[in-house]
Chain A
Amino acid sequence: MAIAEAETQIIGGIAAKFRTCPASGLKIDLAAERLIKANAVASIVFLAIGGLFGLLVALTRWQTVHILPADMFYLALTAHGLDVLLVWIIFFEMAVLYFCSAVLLNCRLATPKLGWVAFVLMIAGAVLANVAVLQGNSSVMFTSYVPMKADPNFYLGIILFAVGALIGCFMFLGTLVIAKDEKTYEGSIPLVTFGALTACIIAIFSIAAGAIILLPTWLWSLGYISHIDTVMYKLVWWAMGHGTQQVNVAAHVAIWYAVAAILLGAKPLSEKVSRTAFLLYILFLQLASAHHLLVEPGLSEEWQIFNTSYAIYLAVLGSMIHGMTVTGAVEAAQRRNGYTRGAFEWLRKAPWGNPAFAGMFLSLIMFGFLGGISGVVLGTEQLNIMLHNTIYVPGHFHATVVAGTTLAFMALTYLVLPLIFQKQVVWPKLARLQPYIFAVGVAGISLFMMGAGTLGVARRHWDIGFADAPMSFSYPAAAHLMLALNGIFAVIASIGGILFVLIAVGTVLWGKPVTAENIVESLGPMPKKQVTDAVSTYGNAGTWHLPGTYILVAVFFLSFVLYYFVNWKYLSEIWPLS
Chain B
Amino acid sequence: MTDATEQADDVPTPERSLRIPVMQRVLDNPFLLLFIGVTVPTVFYILWGLIELTQIPIAN
**Chain B residues near A325 (CB-CB < 8 A):** none
Tally A-B pairs: CB < 8 A: 84
Q: Is residue B46 contacting chain A, with contact meaning CB distance below 8 A? A: yes
**Chain B residues near A289 (CB-CB < 8 A):** 41, 45
**Chain A residues near B24 (CB-CB < 8 A):** 188, 272
A300 touches B37 (CB 8 A): no
A232 touches B53 (CB 8 A): yes
Q: Which of A53-61, A76-84, A198-206, A419-427 contacts B (4 or more CB under 8 A)?
A: A198-206
Q: Which residue from chain A places its CB closest to the CB of B44 in the assembled complex?
A: A287
Chain B's nearest CB lies how many Å from the CB of A291? Answer: 11
Q: Is residue A306 contacting chain B, with contact meaning CB distance below 8 A? A: yes
A204, A229, A286: the one contacting B34 at CB < 8 Å is A204
In whole angstroms, how far apart are the Cα atoms of A276 and B41 in the complex? Answer: 18
In whole angstroms, how far apart are the Cα atoms of A275 and B33 in the complex? Answer: 12
User: How many residues belonging to B are interface residues under a CB distance threshold of 8 Å?
Assistant: 24
Q: Which residue from chain A places its CB closest to the CB of B21 in the assembled complex?
A: A272
Q: In chain A between 505 and 535, which residues have their CB closer than 8 angstroms to a CB of chain B?
A: none
Q: Is residue A307 contacting chain B, with contact meaning CB distance below 8 A? A: yes
In whole angstroms, how far apart are the Cα atoms of A427 and B36 in the complex? Answer: 46
**Chain A residues near B44 (CB-CB < 8 A):** 287, 306-307, 311
**Chain B residues near A283 (CB-CB < 8 A):** 36-37, 40
A236 touches B27 (CB 8 A): no
Q: Is residue A176 contacting chain B, with contact meaning CB distance below 8 A? A: yes
B36 touches A290 (CB 8 A): no
In whole angstroms, how far apart are the Cα atoms of A307 and B46 in the complex? Answer: 11
What mask results when residues 1 to 25 of chain B are scored 1 for a CB within 8 Å of chain A, else 0? 0000000000000000000000110
A287 touches B45 (CB 8 A): yes
B50 touches A201 (CB 8 A): no
Q: Which residue from chain A places its CB closest to the CB of B56 in the assembled complex?
A: A298
A173, A188, A232, A243: the one contacting B27 at CB < 8 Å is A188
What mask results when residues 290 to 312 of chain A are scored 1 for a CB within 8 Å of chain B, else 0? 10010000111001001100010
A173 touches B30 (CB 8 A): yes
B26, B37, B49, B50: the one contacting A202 at CB < 8 Å is B37
**Chain B residues near A303 (CB-CB < 8 A):** 48-49, 52
In whole angstroms, how far apart are the Cα atoms of A229 and B49 in the complex? Answer: 13
In whole angstroms, how far apart are the Cα atoms of A173 and B30 in the complex? Answer: 8
Q: Is residue A134 contacting chain B, with contact meaning CB distance below 8 A? A: no
**Chain B residues near A205 (CB-CB < 8 A):** 37-38, 41-42
**Chain A residues near B34 (CB-CB < 8 A):** 173, 201, 204
Chain B's nearest CB lies how many Å from the CB of A244? Answer: 13
In whole angstroms, how far apart are the Cα atoms of A176 and B60 in the complex? Answer: 55
User: How many residues belonging to A are interface residues under a CB distance threshold of 8 Å?
Assistant: 38
Q: Is residue A257 contacting chain B, with contact meaning CB distance below 8 A? A: no
A235 touches B41 (CB 8 A): no
In whole angstroms, how far apart are the Cα atoms of A306 and B43 in the complex? Answer: 12
A279 touches B27 (CB 8 A): yes
Chain A's nearest CB lies how many Å from the CB of B15? Answer: 16
B27 touches A194 (CB 8 A): yes
Q: Is residue A209 contacting chain B, with contact meaning CB distance below 8 A? A: yes
Q: Is residue A282 contacting chain B, with contact meaning CB distance below 8 A? A: yes
B37, B40, B49: the one contacting A299 at CB < 8 Å is B49
**Chain B residues near A300 (CB-CB < 8 A):** 52
In whole angstroms, how far apart are the Cα atoms of A293 and B46 in the complex? Answer: 12
**Chain A residues near B46 (CB-CB < 8 A):** 209, 235-236, 239
**Chain B residues near A306 (CB-CB < 8 A):** 44
**Chain B residues near A197 (CB-CB < 8 A):** 30, 33
A188, A201, A229, A290: the one contacting B45 at CB < 8 Å is A290
Q: Which residue from chain B places its CB closest to the CB of A205 in the assembled complex?
A: B38
**Chain B residues near A235 (CB-CB < 8 A):** 45-46, 49-50, 53
In whole angstroms, how far apart are the Cα atoms of A229 and B54 in the complex? Answer: 11
A201 touches B52 (CB 8 A): no
A286 touches B41 (CB 8 A): yes
**Chain B residues near A275 (CB-CB < 8 A):** 27
Q: Which residue from chain A places its CB closest to the CB of B55 in the assembled complex?
A: A298
What mask results when residues 201 to 236 of chain A are scored 1 for a CB within 8 Å of chain B, else 0? 110110001000000000000000000010110011
Q: Which residue from chain A places its CB closest to the CB of B34 in the assembled complex?
A: A201
In whole angstroms, how far apart are the Cα atoms of A204 and B42 in the complex? Answer: 12
A299 touches B53 (CB 8 A): yes
11 A–B pairs (Cβ distance < 8 Å), ordered by A:
A197-B30, A201-B30, A232-B50, A235-B50, A282-B36, A286-B41, A286-B45, A287-B44, A289-B41, A290-B45, A311-B44
Residues of B in contact with A (beta carbons under 8 Å apart): 23-24, 26-28, 30-31, 33-34, 36-38, 40-42, 44-46, 48-50, 52-53, 56
Closest 10 CB pairs of A and B: A286-B41, A201-B37, A282-B37, A298-B56, A235-B49, A205-B38, A201-B34, A275-B27, A287-B45, A188-B28
